[in-house]
Amino acid sequence: MEVSSTALSGLVRPVRARPAGPTGRADPSEEVVVMTMRFDPFQDLDRLAERMFTVAADMGQASRAMPVDLYRSGESYVLQCDLPGIDPGSLDLGVDGRVLTIRAQRSLRTDQVEWLTQERASGTYARQFTLSNNLDLERIEATYTDGVLTLTLPMAEEAKPRRIPVTHSTESQALSAGD
């Protein structure tokens, strides 16, 4: 671990001492500088953890701007996104490869008002979801009602559960030594 001199400036105090010579008395010609330092081995770990939690909190804030519910209903998955107050014309859905992108815009009031409290965020919101190979991307449906975007993602035919019939033979076949 590298420690910069500026980080040590408040932690280091030089203590001057004269080592004892061969006679057991202090030798005036030599001087030794002893430094004491307070060392916290967890300080860097604390800084790293704080940075990670700050980034995680920022990411959590972004996802709270477009909270989602995902559940399975029959042979489809349903994704619901809360998007109250967005400009309905700004809602943009797209699939690129296996990535579903949802983008929407919430505009700030443009008329002159005196804000007393302004807690609703404005701007562009976007979320991306990686879709499974088990979905039929050509049959995705979307509706926007009462501030909730609902996407229905149907399962692909080849991914649907199915029963495999088993045939039974009534004849028993004997194995011969020549087979």
pTM over the 0.75 mark: no
In a domain, 131, yes or no: yes
Phi-psi region for residue 85, left (φ > 0), alpha (ψ -120 to 50) or beta?
A: left
Return the minimum-mean-pLDDT range out of 67-81, 139-153, 165-179: 165-179
Q: Reply yes or no on whether the pLDDT at 2 is more than 60.
A: no
Number of domains in the chain: 1
Residue 31's pLDDT is: 63
In a domain, 50, yes or no: no
Could you report the per-residue pLDDT of 97-117, keeping only the tens digit for each?
989 999 999 887 777 888 888
CA angle 61, 64, 66 (to 5 degrees): 125
Q: Which domain holds residue 69?
A: 63-109+123-159
In a domain, 53, yes or no: no
Residue 3's pLDDT is: 44
Residue 54's pLDDT is: 66
Residue 134's pLDDT is: 87
In a domain, 168, yes or no: no
Comparing CA positions, the residue from 72, 64, 88, 69 lying closest to residue 150 is 69
In a domain, 56, yes or no: no
CB 85 within 8 A of CB 102: no
Q: Reply yes or no on whether the pLDDT at 179 is more than 60.
A: no
Q: Which residue has the higher pLDDT, 130 or 14?
A: 130
Residue 140's pLDDT is: 93
Q: Reply yes or no on whether the pLDDT at 10 is more than 70.
A: no
Map 38-50 to HEC letters: CCCCCHHHHHHHH
Residue 6's pLDDT is: 45
Strand order in the sheet with 76-82: 68-73, 76-82, 148-154, 141-145
Write the CATH number for 82: 2.60.40.790
Instruction: Specify the amino acid at residue 29.
Output: S
In whole numbers, what is the pLDDT of the chain averaged over residues?
A: 75
Confidence category of residue 40, pLDDT binned at 50, 70, 90: low
In a domain, 75, yes or no: yes
DSSP 66: S
Residue 174's pLDDT is: 57
Residue 58's pLDDT is: 53
Residue 37's pLDDT is: 59
Confidence category of residue 34, pLDDT binned at 50, 70, 90: low
